[in-house]
Amino acid sequence: MRYPPHILDEIRARLPVSTVVGRKVRLKKAGREWKGLSPFSAEKTPSFFVNDGKGRYFDFSAGKDGDIFNFLMETEGLTFPEAVERLAGEAGVDLPRAEPEAMAVVERRRDLYDVLEAATRFFENQLQRQAGRAALAYLDGRGIAEATRREFRLGFAPDSRTALFDHLSNEGLSRDLIVRAGLAIEPEDGRALYDRFRGRVIIPIQDAKGRVIAFGGRALAPDQQPKYLNSPETELFHKGESVFNLHRARPSAHKAGAAIVVEGYLDAIAVHQAGIGHVVATLGTAFTEEQIALLWRLAPEPIICFDGDRAGRAAAFRAVDRIVPALRTGFSFRFAFLPAGQDPDDLVKAGGPAALGTVLDEARSFWDVIWLRETEAARLDTPNGQAMFETRIREVTAQIGDPTLKRRYELTARLQVSDFLWKVTKRQVSGRTESLAPAPALPTLFSAEPTRLVGLERVFLGMCIHYPDLVEHHREKIASMNFRGAHDGVSFNAFVADLLRVVDADDVRSYIEFYNLLGESFFASLGFLHGREDRALVRPWGHNLYARFPVLQRAIPERFVEDCFSNFMELLWLRDLEDELKAGVADMPPDADDSYGSWLVNLQHDILANRERVLHKEGELAEEASAYRSSFEGGTTVGPDPRGMMPTRRLAAPSGGDR
């Protein structure tokens, strides 16, 4: 219902923000304000402030602000009416009474809550009686402890036609109320009324406030069907708008910033018992918009657990179709596939919470599951099959309603489909028929060799020093490159800029001239990348370069040196292109048109084509280098410089001593 503004203002006036926030955040006085660590993001320095005068909180780390109602909604997942009701009760503010029609509905529902609560007590009591021994044995076999049984209010429905109905009738509850609550079935053909739940373990289903609204019943007899039976749709219970264990999971989910979704009640109970409180279960129905919204109130990216077999994958693929239209910026799902033949209950029993945690850590992104589904179904051996695959991916992304997210998915799809089909076509042309593994999500399409490229960068810059004529020949390309490394507080970009300054200003014929002409602040980098003579050890000039690229110590052709230099430069240049592509994806403007996506796709094609060429050349050069190394057994002797630039004299150490 709508609340008059003066009522909300009265609640705010009676409850200072610091009082409400202080229950969850340790606040310290800071002038006219209070400050503390953000409850919404991990931080070590307080950037969360509360101002009672303004009646608001401000979280600069998470970019959030609001009043006491917002705070409860953000930290506990309450709806606005729920937050108002709770705070009004604390403040002693009477909320306005609803209209007579609305009050009548409230009264009807109150009666239903009462009869369901009475039924819950009956089922709990029956579990402790002689008739409930088989149900207790079943729960013991599932490893559900007594404390957990009490917490979830588990019970037993006797295998009697009217045991529950008779009990509730004796308590003065009407026949009509019992039927409306879904507890008894009244056949239309005039046969006698009978209990819905008979001979079953009973699991109460509770709403967001912890009130019982329905039941799930698990069969005990092997031949009893169905194995699980839910209450029917009632005034209180709508399967498509409910999830099991919501009220218990909500505080834990907000604290953890995560939520786990399993398929069965008993799986959820087992996971909860293992100490993972942010777990809920679906009620055996396909995902609905209402359930998706409920789960997003728990966490922005819940993880849904599915069996790892074919049926589990099929269920995940069906869930994708339900979720895609509801996707919006900042909210998605991940999918965890369990080991074949195991459900969450089995996993927790066998390996404890850590075993389930391992599976959850490996959960696939929403886009990964879309891609997995479409690549499994596609037939890519013909142009028509490839076109159908591309069309299907485009149709999936077209269903996303959020325009910003839709553009992002469409761009991701274009790049990944382009990359995937390029590889498929190439393998078909080359006659290679081995299967293609499904492509990973977009960010991992780029180079994942940072350590190797850092080392390569040092070798390349060492060669720039050793062979200045190659620098002069490739001056423009080297000037456009972005180097990542640094040494002794000096970036390699700055070092290269001074190197090029010397090349432009002087006719540099030998690396020795760099030692004379580079700025003094670059001496340490010069020694680190190249290495001048160490008198104590009598190491040669360029000893650091030789240590990183030992083949240069051999008598090798000039052509090989030039090929290595060019290929190293191309590899590092490709890294810059990949950075440009990543930046283009990350910084896509909201109003980007098709030309923007085409530019990124073409850039990706250039990267793929050039990467293959460069890596092929790298393989050839590695084989050639191996041949040179093996031709000199135990050779630590430095061969004559293939470019005729070994020094004929030795210079005094630059001022400041050996670097």
What would the mean pLDDT of 187-208 be, rounded to a whole number?
Answer: 93
What is the distance of C-alpha 226 from the center of its chain? 36
Residue 218 contacts by C-beta under 8 Å, 6 or more apart in sequence? 138, 200, 201, 203, 227, 228, 265, 266
Residue 433 lies in a domain: no
**Which pair of structure tokens corresponds to residue 404?**
């910003």
Phi (first) and psi of residue 229, to 5 degrees: -130, 125
Co-location of 323 and 394 in the same domain: yes
Tell me, what's the pLDDT at 101? 60
What is the rounded distance in angstroms from the CA atom of residue 40 to the CA atom of residue 61? Answer: 8
Residue 117 has pLDDT above 70, yes or no: yes
Residue 174 has pLDDT above 60, yes or no: yes
For 123-147, the pLDDT digits (tens) are 999 999 999 999 999 999 999 999 9
Co-location of 360 and 333 in the same domain: yes
What is the rounded distance in angstroms from the CA atom of residue 457 to the CA atom of residue 451? Answer: 10
For 317-376, the pLDDT digits (tens) are 999 999 999 998 889 999 999 988 888 888 988 888 999 999 999 999 999 999 999 998
Co-location of 398 and 283 in the same domain: yes
What would the mean pLDDT of 643-649 be, rounded to a whole number?
Answer: 40
Asked if 218 contacts 284 with a C-beta cutoff of 8 angstroms, the reply is no
Residue 445 has pLDDT above 70, yes or no: no
Query: The domain that contains 74 carries what CATH number?
Result: 3.90.580.10
Long-range contacts of 318-324 (CB under 8 A, 24+ apart): 318/286, 319/286, 319/287, 320/366, 320/369, 320/370, 320/373, 320/396, 322/286, 322/287, 322/288, 322/292, 323/287, 323/292, 323/366, 324/370, 324/396, 324/399, 324/400
- Residue 43 pLDDT grade (very low, low, confident, very high; cuts 50, 70, 90): confident
What is the rounded distance in angstroms from the CA atom of residue 131 to the CA atom of residue 539? Answer: 91
What would the mean pLDDT of 548-571 be, rounded to a whole number?
Answer: 89
For 382-397, the pLDDT digits (tens) are 889 899 999 999 999 9
Co-location of 340 and 459 in the same domain: no
Residue 316 has pLDDT above 70, yes or no: yes
Tell me, what's the pLDDT at 95? 86
**Numbers of helices and strands, H then E, in the chain:** 26, 18
What is the rounded distance in angstroms from the CA atom of residue 496 to the CA atom of residue 486? Answer: 11
3-state secondary structure at position 200: strand
For 272-311, the pLDDT digits (tens) are 999 999 999 988 667 888 899 889 988 889 999 988 888 8
Domain boundary among 206, 237, 268: 237
What would the mean pLDDT of 52-59 be, rounded to a whole number?
Answer: 91
Rounded to two decimals, what is the model's pTM?
A: 0.65
> Torsion-angle region of residue 534: left (phi > 0), alpha (psi -120 to 50) or beta?
beta
To the nearest whole number, what is the mean pLDDT of the chain?
85
Neighbours of 304 (CB within 10 A): 24
Total domains in the chain come to 4
Co-location of 102 and 49 in the same domain: no
Which residue has tokens 């340490």?
524
Neighbours of 536 (CB within 10 A): 7
> Which one-letter DSSP state was computed for residue 36?
E
Neighbours of 459 (CB within 10 A): 19
Co-location of 388 and 490 in the same domain: no
Residue 435 lies in a domain: no
Q: Quickly list H helices, 188-258.
A: 246-256
Neighbours of 430 (CB within 10 A): 8
Tell me, what's the pLDDT at 271? 94
> Which one-letter DSSP state was computed for residue 39?
S
Co-location of 198 and 111 in the same domain: yes
Domain boundary among 368, 402, 436: 402
% the chain with pLDDT above 90: 48
Single out the residue of 37, 35, 38 nearest to residue 52, CA to CA: 35
Residue 295 lies in a domain: yes
**End-to-end Cα spacing for the chain:** 77
Residue 436 lies in a domain: no
Tell me, what's the pLDDT at 99? 64
3-state secondary structure at position 230: strand
**Which pair of structure tokens corresponds to residue 453?**
């490229």
Tell me, what's the pLDDT at 267? 92
- Residue 501 pLDDT grade (very low, low, confident, very high; cuts 50, 70, 90): very high
Please give the angle made by the CA atoms of 310, 314 and 317, to the nearest 5 degrees: 140
Query: The domain that contains 105 carries what CATH number?
Result: 3.90.980.10
% the chain with pLDDT above 70: 88
Co-location of 152 and 272 in the same domain: no
- Concatenated DSSP letters of 603-644: HHHHHHHHHHHHHHHHHHHHHHHHHHHHTSTT--SPPPPTTS
Single out the residue of 119, 121, 123, 122 nearest to residue 139, CA to CA: 123
What is the rounded distance in angstroms from the CA atom of residue 626 to the CA atom of residue 547? Answer: 16
Co-location of 187 and 335 in the same domain: no
For 585-609, the pLDDT digits (tens) are 777 777 777 777 778 878 877 887 7
What would the mean pLDDT of 543-558 be, rounded to a whole number?
Answer: 86
Tell me, what's the pLDDT at 107? 66
Tell me, what's the pLDDT at 656? 37
What would the mean pLDDT of 519-525 be, rounded to a whole number?
Answer: 90
Co-location of 232 and 246 in the same domain: no
- Residue 432 pLDDT grade (very low, low, confident, very high; cuts 50, 70, 90): very low
Co-location of 190 and 296 in the same domain: no
Cis omega before residue 204 (within 30°)?
Answer: no
Residue 139 lies in a domain: yes
Residue 515 lies in a domain: yes
Q: Residue 395 class from Cβ within 10 Å (0-12 exposed, 13-18 middle, 19+ buried)?
A: exposed
Query: The domain that contains 288 carries what CATH number?
Result: 3.40.1360.10
Domain boundary among 72, 91, 110: 91
Tell me, what's the pLDDT at 4? 83
- Residue 460 pLDDT grade (very low, low, confident, very high; cuts 50, 70, 90): very high
Which residue has tokens 């218990």?
248
| Domain with 83 in it | 5-91
Tell me, what's the pLDDT at 508? 85
Tell me, what's the pLDDT at 7? 87
- The residue with greater pLDDT, 427 or 184, is 184
Which residue has tokens 């423009």?
476
Co-location of 133 and 55 in the same domain: no
Tell me, what's the pLDDT at 341? 80
**Which pair of structure tokens corresponds to residue 64?**
């959030």
Residue 460 lies in a domain: yes
Residue 413 lies in a domain: no
